[in-house]
Amino acid sequence: MHDIRIATIEILYAADVSDGDYKRTFEAYWGMSPAPVPVSKKLADQVEIFVDGILNHMEEIDTTIRSASDNWDLTRIAKVDLGILRLAAYEVLFRRQTPVRVIIDEAVEIAKEYSTSKSSAFVNGVLDRMGRESRKEEMKIKQEAKDNGRDNERTSKT
């Protein structure tokens, strides 16, 4: 899954900093030598599903990012961070089989690896808010489990 996310973000980034033609960038990406990530038909098919999903829902994804980032103008967000946020937003909103905490953790790790030192905190904050708003029930259960764990720790220490 990590390679799928990396390839998707790289395609989004490359298109955003060039002509904005995501389909052409997708095709060119797989023709690069050496390949940015190990290439397989399965990987390319999965990345295409993610890129198409993001493109098909771009308006809703961008609106959600704006809302979760306190109405930041998307042009002010670094292109790498925007790609990370768009992918994660797509997963949070439309691929509900992946737990929101997994999506956030992976996005934060990618931001640490591919962006600036401050980006991971920004990405974490935006996605945490997005998760709390989009997947309220899942986040509530996770918070309750976390709180119960703290209560259990306190009880065992006394």
**Each residue of 24-59: pLDDT tens digit?**
888 888 877 566 666 788 888 999 999 999 999 999
Q: Please answer whether residues 12 and 51 qualify as being in contact, where contact means their C-beta atoms are separated by less than 8 angstroms.
A: yes
SS3 69: coil
pLDDT for position 136: 73
Kindly report, residue by residue over 51-90, the tens digit of the pLDDT.
999 999 999 999 999 999 998 899 999 999 999 999 999 9
pLDDT tens by residue, 105-126: 999 999 999 999 899 999 999 9
Cis peptide upstream of residue 34 (ω within 30 degrees of 0): yes
Contact 86, 55 (CB under 8 A): no
Select from 64, 58, 31, 30 the least CA-distant residue to 44.
Answer: 30
Question: What pLDDT, on the 0 to 100 scale, is given for residue 131?
Answer: 92
Please state which CATH class domain 2-157 belongs to.
mainly alpha
8 Å CB contact between 7 and 47? yes
The residue behind tokens 């999506």 is: 103
Which pLDDT does position 99 carry in this prediction? 93
Q: What's residue 29's pLDDT?
A: 84
73, amino acid identity:
D
Predicted pLDDT at 4? 93
Q: Please give the average per-residue pLDDT across 139-156, as a whole number.
A: 59
